[in-house]
Amino acid sequence: MSAFVLVLISPSGGSAAPLDAALQAAKNEIGNATPNWLAPGEACELQFEAGDATAARAARDRIAAGLGSAPIDVCVVPTEGRRKGLLIADMDSTIIQQECIDEMADMLGLKARIAAITERAMRGELPFEAALRERLGLLAGLEVRALQRVFDERIVLMPGARTLVATMRANGAFTALVSGGFSFFTSRVAAAVGFDVNRANELDIADEKLTGGVVGPILGREAKLDALIQYRDARGLAAEATLAVGDGANDLAMIGAAGLGVAYRAKPVVAAEADAGIMHGDLTALLFLQGYRKDDFTSVS
């Protein structure tokens, strides 16, 4: 038998009733364990034992299925090694609420057309690299100054992003924002959130306009995995000490290789393969998964 933690998370500021119901369902499934409250009315955990990770996740799935549409995230993590020393995060629709390329397209009246391609690529229905080239080709001629307008007027951080990064960094973790998007945005988002480093594609520009391409090879699924391995090995961390979070198909490799791979408000193909899924909580849910109490969070101004 192995030791696991069942973590129940509800949206901050919501009713405590769904969490109470989830707690009772959890006790019925895994035994009458004593709940450890990480945040009263918002997050609690229960220790239990299972034969292996597959059995533990099966128990999780039964609990989640019994809750129906209740806004509760039900996750299972191993008891050992919960706190991570490396965070690798996707940007679009993960750390920020938008897809930057869709907002860029809106500047040319092409948002619906390009957003449809983005959605298919994130669902894994189109190869990421080919889909990115197609979308960028449609954006050829967009003035560079429009990018700053997109950042200033359209980009909104995901709730909990700054607290997640600040708390992990305060506890010694290294944090990296790694995107299949563009460095124009990752550099600004990373600075706003507090990431140690950022990595993304560089837009090709001529005469202050987009050419429709990128400088060098496209950074996609494998580049994200490479970044995780590079930052992990540079710090002498075991694979189990890493956390990766994303929402799209191009995040699957890094999510699969991380000690804790989290699908955040993700496409079905990602949610099906990740260790844990967060659909209702904000990004501080990733701290609860690591055993942080809300009182442990690093405050951000």
Residues 20, 61, 90, 295: which is the catalytic one?
Answer: 90
Residues sharing a CB contact under 8 Å with residue 286, sequence separation 6 or more, in sequence order: 87, 164, 243, 245, 262, 264, 278
Q: Catalytic residue among 92, 102, 275, 282, which?
A: 92
Whether the Cβ atoms of residue 245 and residue 264 lie closer than 8 Å to each other? yes
Q: Is 92 designated active site?
A: yes
295 catalytically annotated: no
For residue 250, give Cα distances in angstroms to 125, 129, 136, 152, 211: 11, 10, 17, 26, 24
| Rg (the chain; Cα; Å) | 20
In angstroms, the Cα distances linking 86 to 23, 57, 174, 206, 237 are 30, 24, 5, 37, 8
Q: How far is CA 267 from CA 115, 128, 253, 274, 287, in A?
A: 14, 14, 14, 11, 22
Hey, which residues are catalytic here? 90, 92
